[in-house]
A and B are shown apart, each in its own frame.
Chain A
């Protein structure tokens, strides 16, 4: 048996899932090329560049979760999404606290360490 016979509905589903992956790939590609291109060829101020890189990275993470890991807003997958959001909450507390404490320490005691 070389290829499973797909019913019409299955063939449609397959096409839509394939489109999903293609869209994900195309968007991720664009969102990668923009920051690399600007960082390599354009002469932007560092602050603007950081903002662009950060924004592209955030959107690309969402695209990857949506298109490759199939995390959507539909009801039955809420658990997975909630786990991500909870992890992000924990992370933001720990990362934010680390950065706050250490950079405050640097500012007061070790100004050389400030980048």
Chain B
């Protein structure tokens, strides 16, 4: 009972301590370490942003280097790119709902449900991307064909690899949830994974705009 009153009297507009969702006063345990961990993770995200930004620049400088091989118009498929964009966008939203379930509900069912939907969408994205690459290979668009294709295959699959690793991490966190329940470490993991997930969606905005729409325009 005392815990409940403490929750009720806690100021709800507490200052935010880190990027991503802030769990607030109802989740006091592990709060000091959480702030540092999330900030460290944020620094890592920023270094990842540099990496992706430079690969974008490399891609742009290689746009003319098709060496007589297939170019964007022969290889890219707008429907596939649109489908992948939607999968990733909806998964970002469902992860947001999972974060809210983590913050405001104690039962794990809503949280696990949203996380499973997110996982399915993420896996669907990776599967569809692999299918797209397969079609590109069949049309002669292999990484060794030209500088343009090498640059493409260092940029876009790197994002896909990030999403795949995020899916593995999500599965690991679901296992942690099942074994340890919602303890401080699991919550920290979920907050950081949410940041990674939303960040990967931001990188995808660049990919679908510059690579796919820019290539097909």
On A, residues with C-beta under 8 Å from B are 1-7, 9-10, 12-14, 17-18, 21, 24-25, 28-29, 32, 35-36, 39-40, 46, 49-50, 53-54, 56-57, 60-61, 64-65, 68-72, 74-77, 79-80, 83-84, 86-87, 90-91, 94-95, 98-99, 102-103, 106, 112-115
Contacts and interface: CB of A to CB of B under 8 A. Distances in A.
A68 B194 CA distance: 9
Interface in B97-145: 97, 100, 103-107
Nearest to B197: A68
A83 B58 contact: no
B60 interface: yes
Which 5 A-B residue pairings sit nearest by Cβ, starting from the closest?
A57-B209, A76-B15, A7-B8, A113-B64, A21-B96
A90 to B, nearest CB: 6
A61 B54 CA distance: 17
Given A21-B97, A36-B82, A64 B214 contact: no
B57 interface: yes
17 contacts: A3-B105, A4-B26, A10-B8, A24-B96, A25-B92, A28-B92, A36-B78, A39-B217, A40-B78, A64-B202, A69-B19, A72-B16, A79-B39, A91-B50, A94-B57, A99-B60, A115-B63
Contacts of B21: 17, 70
A112 B147 CA distance: 13
Contacts of A2: 106-107
Contacts of B208: 32
B96 A68 contact: yes
A98 B64 contact: no
B57 A95 contact: yes
A13 B100 CA distance: 11
B205 interface: yes
B100 A57 contact: no
Contacts of A21: 93, 96-97, 100
Given A21-B97, A87-B50, A115-B64, A74 B58 contact: no
Given A50-B217, A115-B63, A4 B20 contact: no
B6 to A, nearest CB: 11
A50 B106 contact: no
A84 B213 CA distance: 25
A13 B12 CA distance: 7
